[in-house]
Amino acid sequence: MRHLANLHWVSFCRFPVQGVIVKLWCIGNQSVCIFKLSAVLAFVFSVSAYAEDTHATKLEMQIQGKHSEALTQIVFPAAPHNTPYKLVAELPYQAPPSIFPYAHEHQDQYAAYWPANHPDKKVNGVVAFIHGGCWLNEFDMSHSYAFSTGLAQAGFHVWSIEYRRAGNGGEWPVALDDVVLGLKHISRLSEFGVDLSKINILGHSAGGHLAAMLAIQLDDVLPPAIKKANIIGLAAIMDIDDYARGDNTCESATPSFMRGMPAQQPIAYYLANPQNFAATSELLNQFELFQGNADEIVAPEQASHQNAITVKLDKAGHFDWIHPGSDAFQQLLLSLSSYPSS
């Protein structure tokens, strides 16, 4: 029987790569051990690269499976006032040409990228977008593909952040944590020559709530390349405590996101309410809340914050803002083009 002195237990390693665990025993001299360990490490890190590529490929297949086409110009139909969700969800769109996973705990941790696609090749800026959907797993970013397409055709690079939501592990504060990670990874666009010195952060509905939560902690969430940010809440939920007490479909979903009613989770509701905190970062250029007077999902009274400018649009409903053929969308483009550069 070989003497235990010649049996070298080199390591029991847990690599944070798709849960890979490696045990390695080496017989004989140390150089053989090192050779075997280096070979295993090379294999493990190749698995890591393959896993990341596979994750991205699966996401691409899911997205392209819904709609695939070359970068073209889409002519969006005119939208009626108070546009219904169904009309927005059925719009034509350009599928995101690129996706960027920002973490690997869940398949919803990625950002989709639409490069600026203005017919005259103009580039008007960068938009980081956070979609809505009552913070619920049932509503992913796909209903906002047409919105992102419209922004890209208006000359904006669009970085749309998907995130975990209530029902798939994204209850408060996980959804916000994901959005912060997704925003930090926007720095990837600098590799493609995109100017990130100033960006626009937009959020719709529940996504507007998350965008407002970014506004109150901007110094901690922006990557260093970004020197200024405009933040716009589109029909944003700004008082989550009050919203949870309502009885429409989206209001009734709030306790699922917050893990209870305000009386059950008072500290969580306080911390999740952007109205409880000032947004005074020097990195914040403009903070605006756009709200339609005909919105039946988020009451016009929600559009309020001590440091924000409220812009109300007559006859606009909840989904008008994300329909590229609407008056509300044109108002948004006008505002984006009018912001000062510093």
- Dig out the tokens for 260 from the structure: 């209870």
Residues in the chain: 342
Q: Could you tell me the residue range of the domain that residue 9 belongs to?
A: 1-66
Q: How many domains does the chain have?
A: 2
Residues 196 and 124 in one domain: yes
Report the C-alpha gap between 204 and 237 in whole angstroms.
9
Q: What integer pLDDT is reported at residue 194 of this predicted model? A: 97
Q: Are strands 156-161 and 110-114 parallel, antiparallel or unpaired?
A: antiparallel
Contact predicate 166/136, CB 8 Å: yes
Q: What percent of the chain has pLDDT over 90?
A: 77
Burial 142-175 (b: 16+ CB within 10 A, else e): bbbbbbbbbbbbbbbbbbbbbbbbbebebbbebb
Is the same domain home to 151 and 111?
Answer: yes
Q: How many CB atoms lie within 10 A of CB 288?
A: 20
Range name among 38-52, 69-83, 228-242 with the lowest pLDDT average: 38-52
| Tens of pLDDT, residues 277-316 | 999 999 999 999 999 999 999 999 999 999 999 999 999 9
Same structural domain, 9 and 85: no
**Strand, helix or coil for residue 164:** coil
pLDDT, tens digit, for every residue of 171-189?
999 999 999 999 999 999 9
The residue-averaged pLDDT of 210-216 equals: 98
CB 113 within 8 A of CB 127: no
User: What is d(CA 250, CA 285) in angstroms, rounded to the nearest whole number?
Assistant: 30
Antiparallel, parallel or unpaired: β 284-292 and 228-234: parallel
Instruction: Identify whether residues 182 and 314 lie together within a single domain.
Output: yes
Residues 46 and 102 in one domain: no
Q: 172 and 286: one domain?
A: yes
Residue 147 and residue 283 in one domain: yes
d(CA 115, CA 149): 9
**Shared domain check, 91 and 31:** no
* 282 CB-near residues (< 8 Å, 6+ apart): none
CA separation (Å) from 330 to 49, 97, 163, 251, 327? 43, 24, 27, 28, 5
User: How big is the chain by its Cα radius of gyration, in Å?
Assistant: 23
Confidence band, pLDDT 50/70/90 cuts, at residue 40: very low
What is the pTM assigned to this prediction? 0.82
Task: For residues 58 and 83, state if they share a domain.
Answer: no
> Distance between CA 176 and CA 207 in Å, rounded?
9
**pLDDT score, position 70:** 55
Phi, psi (degrees; rounded to nearest 5) at 162? -85, 155
**Same domain assignment for residues 188 and 321:** yes
pLDDT at 339: 83
Q: Which of 34, 66, 98 is the last residue of a domain?
A: 66
Whole-number pLDDT of residue 2? 36
Residue 248 to residue 250: CA distance in whole angstroms:
6
Cα separation of the two ends of the chain: 76
Average pLDDT, the chain: 85
> What stretches of the chain show up as alpha helix (H) in DSSP?
30-66, 85-89, 145-153, 174-184, 206-215, 218-221, 240-244, 249-258, 266-271, 327-338
**Per-residue pLDDT at 48:** 45
Residue type at position 11: S
Token pair 């798709």 is found at 18
Q: What is the CATH number of the domain that holds 159?
A: 3.40.50.1820
Q: Do 58 and 197 belong to one domain?
A: no
Q: For residue range 145-165, what is the model confidence (pLDDT) as tens digits?
A: 999 999 999 999 999 999 999
The confidence score (pLDDT) of residue 341 equals 57
Same domain, 151 and 278: yes
Domain boundary among 10, 43, 66: 66
Segment 99-130, tens digit of pLDDT: 999 999 999 999 999 999 999 999 999 999 99
- For residue 158, the SS3 value is strand
**Structure tokens given for 19:** 């849960």
- Distance between alpha carbon 8 and the CA centroid of its chain, in Å? 48
